[in-house]
Amino acid sequence: MRIDTPLRDAIALVETPAVLIEEAVLTRNIQRLSGIATQAGVALRPHVKTHKSLWLAGLQRQAGAAGVTAAKASEAVVFLEGGFRDVTVAYPLLDRRKIARLLAAARQAGASLRLVVDSPASVEAIAAEAALATYPVALFVEIDVGLGRCGIAPELPAVASLVDLIAQRPFLSFAGLFSHAGHAYRCDGPAAITEVAETERQLMTGLAKALRHAGIAVPAVSVGSTPTVMLARDFTGLTEIRPGNAVFMDMTQVALGVATRAEIALSVIATVVSANATHSIVDAGSKMLSSDQGPHGSKALSGYGLAEPQADPSREMPLVALSEEHGFIATGNRPLTPGERVRIWPNHACPVVNLVEALTVVSPDGALCSRPVDARGCVW
């Protein structure tokens, strides 16, 4: 891949290993997501687990995002304390201590808080803490549309029963239906992903229609996954989307046909520290790149990313192995020289961000700045 001189010069200055964000590509990705939401007439609440950055979430908000979606309670607290007033936690919370801390942060921020449930136990835990805090919480019922992770089957009796339980508890309200078609990552190409997106839409809107016919108001129908959002052909009946990875993209999205290499905003800059007859060794290992080979059991890629030397970006080599502090690039009989810089396109951008304290952002003119990963390590 050819790169311009300002970017090449910036890469030469970065202290390695570093997670590099191309601001121009990032901006285009943010604008593209905003355009999808606007054209579809749905709200955009991007998943911040991908970037964990107040700065970057601020850019998404400026581009029209209605709020943010967080993975865990502690991650949500960071964004509540960072000035965000519309926060969804896409995780079934059961631990009342976590719920209490989350509600305290929401109260302090004066925020609108939406949580996700898929069992009576979760409803009761949230209800108990909401009553103690005298703070209103809107609850989504999560629907399993095929991933087989969290959520209940899209069947009216079970869903209506959970909605009824929510209605019986003070300080709780029914936010609507919520799904994540993560099994799209197991697809073998764009056509199959589009079909998963359409199946999800039909399941969710059909269930919403059945609930409304039964006299139950359904305020929102929320879906989210980068592949399905980017390749969906119809958003009719949906009210919001929650893509995460789309802000950066990565080699998994490229392999699935969701993105091109030119649309990847995140890469890892590393330095060759050693070389032998078969591999060149770089200073980025599993503590920098993670050993995650793709989300939800994706089989689209092997290895841990694709490396290109900055001296010859057209030469592409697989990153085939990782130890904690070392990455193994297969170079065959053309080893790289110790001291050379390489740019690595990781398979999965999300866990890479969580491994570093800061992102190195390069502007179109080659200027560098550092942005903190504010919610790094927020896993409770």
- CATH number of the structural domain spanning residue 12: 2.40.37.20
- CATH number of the structural domain spanning residue 128: 3.20.20.10
Residue 199 has pLDDT above 60, yes or no: yes
Residue 1 has pLDDT above 80, yes or no: no
Q: Please report the pLDDT score of residue 2 as a whole number.
A: 53
- End of a domain among 188, 211, 243? 243
Q: Could you tell me if 89 and 208 lie in one domain? A: yes
Q: Could you tell me if 299 and 196 lie in one domain? A: no
The model carries a pTM of 0.95
Q: Could you tell me if 188 and 276 lie in one domain? A: no
Q: Please report the pLDDT score of residue 81 as a whole number.
A: 98
Q: How far apart are CA 270 and CA 331, in angstroms?
A: 15
Q: Please report the pLDDT score of residue 293 as a whole number.
A: 77
Q: What is the mean pLDDT of residues 139-160?
A: 97
pLDDT, tens digit, for every residue of 307-320?
999 989 889 999 99
**How many CB atoms lie under 10 A from the CB of residue 262?**
12
Mean pLDDT computed over every residue of the chain: 96
Identify any residues that bridge with 267 across adjacent strands, giving them in sequence order.
Answer: 20
Answer whether residue 68 is part of any domain.
Answer: yes
Q: Please tell me which residue, 292 or 369, carries the higher pLDDT value.
A: 369
Pull the structure tokens for residue 66. 């209605």
Longest dimension (CA), the chain: 71
Q: What is the mean pLDDT of residues 130-143?
A: 98
- Residue numbers of the domain that contains 270: 5-20+258-370
Q: Please report the pLDDT score of residue 302 as a whole number.
A: 81
Identify whether the C-beta of residue 378 lies closer than 8 Å to the C-beta of residue 323.
no
* C-alpha dihedral sign at 295, 288, 248, 343: negative
Residue 101 has pLDDT above 90, yes or no: yes
Q: Could you tell me if 354 and 273 lie in one domain? A: yes
pLDDT, tens digit, for every residue of 206-243?
999 999 999 999 999 999 999 999 999 999 999 999 99
Minimum mean pLDDT range among 56-70, 207-221, 285-299, 329-343: 285-299
Q: Could you tell me if 58 and 15 lie in one domain? A: no
Q: How far apart are CA 248 and CA 93, in angstroms?
A: 28
Q: Please tell me which residue, 295 or 180, carries the higher pLDDT value.
A: 180
Q: Could you tell me if 290 and 266 lie in one domain? A: yes
pLDDT, tens digit, for every residue of 247-281?
999 999 999 999 999 999 999 999 999 999 999 99
